Structure 1
């Protein structure tokens, strides 16, 4: 059963189309990454899913409920971590969680929420003395208070150091393993690739790529790079390569097979391929490719329309 269903969803602000007829589903107990550049429509989509905005067209269902019409019932079963939250700066982290518990049905103990977010040591620290990353972890503690069935995370690890970020990843993985559905937006593409089983990439309000994470990346080309031996011309290589300076790059659907071909060719000639690196397609590669194609298409449209 899909925990989140989005069907032909649209939202505009005046003449600006923030979300343009998008559809996707998030299966229960999975992590779904909603990605895109700034202004792509991610945050507006998140606000529509959580009932903070009313759609112009289309529908949203969270746990089978309308987040606007069934607001109270939905809010009791979801956790929300938006990009910014308002805290009282002179309260401690522990006091903040305790106050939030008063508004959260069946809330976890404050100590448990703080421990999940990695803030136990900061329980007596005033909010104004917390770092940006620690404030994000406090946001996470509040989102987890109600033991949510669905968790919305908007840029959850912004401002965190690498260790804290990986701690949050472990929390998210554990929640999903226990059946919580997680929808996250992030600019850290490694984060999305590490956590999500499915994704949607938005551009100008539309979904341009979506589906299973592993299948999406498997359909992209990988690459093999190495130092071109000084005695070899690019045309002598067994595979087509692009050479930049001393480095040759071969793009291949199966980079492991390409590397084996190159190594076998080099061995037969008594050559060494120094600096050999085999890289499968990554989410970053896909994202940059889409960004480049989008800019090319936009420039092409601008040229045809005769506008600078």
Structure 2
């Protein structure tokens, strides 16, 4: 594989949304353009609450057997909840929702140096960042041959500062811009209506994102997920996922309170390490309190 690393993502599930109205059904619900998913392009999107809070995220793949159908690479632990939510919106739409997780799963491919991974066969570029690599939906039998270097995959993801909904997002609490969905190609602000659009678009337009998920280097022991982050005894955020080998975590931080501050998570120190794709959003203008 020319140095490309691969891993079967055991925590992911696969849904098929089929029927003659499958794409138009999703188009009116999700944050990105369902029509853009094709044989050579995957789409990253989310489903929000009407109040604009995060519920689910997923990757859309075109079903090669049916040009109207889409395959959703989604959080396997919450797949029943996603089916329930989609069914609630389905009403009379000509749509069939099927859980394919018993026969299909998800694979990730990446280069440790952050270079892009070529799309080959069912493997498509990860739409969030080129450096993330590629993903594919494969039969379970094909996944077994890939192995499961989940630690390596998590290290790669956390190194790039990209959140994982299963570990870093809080359903019905987190706002999508807080976890950088707007910067990771997860929201199309020009596609037309989606659930939660009004709040999301207004927040983006006003530049009023008070918090962002930020990668941080750790000085000391790796803090556990949920550890409060403090600056001079004032709570400014929360630690989420982390990697002990690289001493790095993702933390949701108040942007207006971290500039030039000394950050602590328990007895350990945190030093934000801002990647280039996130940097323009992290430094507020002088005098701007972030909200």
Same fold (TM over 0.5): no
Query: Which TM-score band applies after superposition, normalised by the shorter structure?
Result: under 0.3
Instruction: Select the structure that is richer in strand.
Output: 2
Instruction: Select the structure that is richer in helix.
Output: 1
Name the larger-Rg structure. 1
TM-score by length of 2: 0.27
